[in-house]
Amino acid sequence: MSRRVVITGLGIISPTGHTPEQFFNNLMSGHSGIKRLKSAFIDQLSIRIAAPVDDFDPAAHFSKIQLTGIERFSQLALVAAEQAVQDAGLVLTESEYHRAGVYMGSCLGGAGTLEDGYVEVFKRENPRVKPLSVLLSMNNAAASHLSIKYHLQGPNITYATACSSSAIALGEAYRQIKHGYADVMLAGGAEAMLTLGAMKAWEALRTLASEDPSDPGASCKPFSKNRNGLVLGEGAAVLVLEDAERAVQRGATIYAELAGYDCSSDSSHITKPDSAGQTRTILNALRDAQLQPQQIGYINAHGTATLAGDIEETRALKQAFGAYAYNIPVSSTKSMHGHLMGATGAVEFMAAVLALKHQAIPPTLNLHQPDPECDLDYVPNRGRVGVPLNAVMSNSFAFGGTNAVLIAKRFVA
């Protein structure tokens, strides 16, 4: 069995917007969510910039009792999912519950709860931690809360493959529907790791961007000669995927068809990216979508602004697309919303889907000094409107070598 899969609902809580339209409008206008952190522990950091969701008020969405059992990353996921479900006009009957599921991605899950527990035990020598610490911090908590809230009795899985976690969640959810195991899936990712411990760990790895002296929002510079690292972010993005026939029958508004996906491993190095592995993934996704390379009109790049990562991705695009690579607009929206780790694949795929909807391409911000080795059309600094798009791609290439590529195209019944 092979069925078509469509996207009928979008929801997002991100550093650059709390609704899909606000998110995309801010990307198009070059609004950066990267800023100086206001956390109490800022004086203990060497790198003091990030892309926080600092205007999110949990009390506006959850009761005090609920908040005792729902960690920040799960809160973000629940709010994003509520948007997506409402956007899709999704109502499931009791007989449909077992044909609906949830796949989510997250790297650290309840990082804040884990860190608070360590502080209580090892620093304050408190023999007790919060009674719900395990339930708050477990990686699958967000997906489980979504399953319970919406009575999703089909597959419920959380993926943790570093930066590609939520892209793989989306791709595997697509396969569940395509091959007949489910009719509806909620899929995406959530991350909230802007904690002292997590940020100190990333500092130690020496992959974080230093603060731009003129403007913190200009600190992430993908594909630029003067780039020096990524900026950590937080947030959540959830999409509603449906069997196309079901969506058409119920009169749903369809954003796009999720038409292609592949995941593979570089199988070479734990941190160093490999263009050969990325190329394989791109070509396999194109094959799955039954598209030729020249049918892709826009690519949302992984584009982390690391020295090796941006060069290897450029090489992969050239290897996969040949000479046509120079004709494809490619942008890294991480330049504005930062790197949301386990949530970033879903955030960036949503940006690509909205580009398809609006026939507009968001820019790569802060690209004033292009790296000669990154010589493709990286849409520097200003978005483009009125661009005829029929198919778009989103790349996610992770530490550990786990690559994922998603392709969406305009839906024609």
The residues annotated with a catalytic role in the active site are 163, 302, 339
Specify the long-range contacts of residues 63-71, CB closer than 8 Å, at least 24 apart: 68/132, 69/132, 69/135, 69/136, 70/136, 70/141, 70/145, 71/109, 71/110, 71/112, 71/113, 71/136, 71/137, 71/141, 71/192
Tally of CA atoms within 13 A in the half-sphere of 331 that contains its CB: 30
As a whole number of angstroms, the distance between CA 355 and CA 24 comes to: 8
Quick check: helix, strand or coil at residue 164? helix
Dump the DSSP string for 242-285. Answer: EEHHHHHHTT----EEEEEEEEEE--S-SSS--HHHHHHHHHHH
Q: Supply the angle between the helices 307-321 and 275-289 in degrees, to the nearest 10.
A: 40
**Backbone torsions φ then ψ of 250, nearest 5 degrees:** -90, 0
Structure tokens at 281: 């993934």
Structure tokens at 140: 């699958």
As a whole number of angstroms, the distance between CA 289 and CA 272 comes to: 28
As a whole number of angstroms, the distance between CA 71 and CA 252 comes to: 32
Tell me the residue length of the chain: 413
Quick check: helix, strand or coil at residue 212? coil
Measured between alpha carbons, how far apart are the two ends of the chain, in Å? 18
Dump the DSSP string for 172-210. Answer: HHHHHHHTTS-SEEEEEEEE---SHHHHHHHHHHT-BPP
Unique residue bearing structure tokens 């069995």: 1
Name the DSSP letter for residue 289: H
Q: Supply the angle between the helices 344-358 and 20-28 in degrees, to the nearest 10.
A: 80
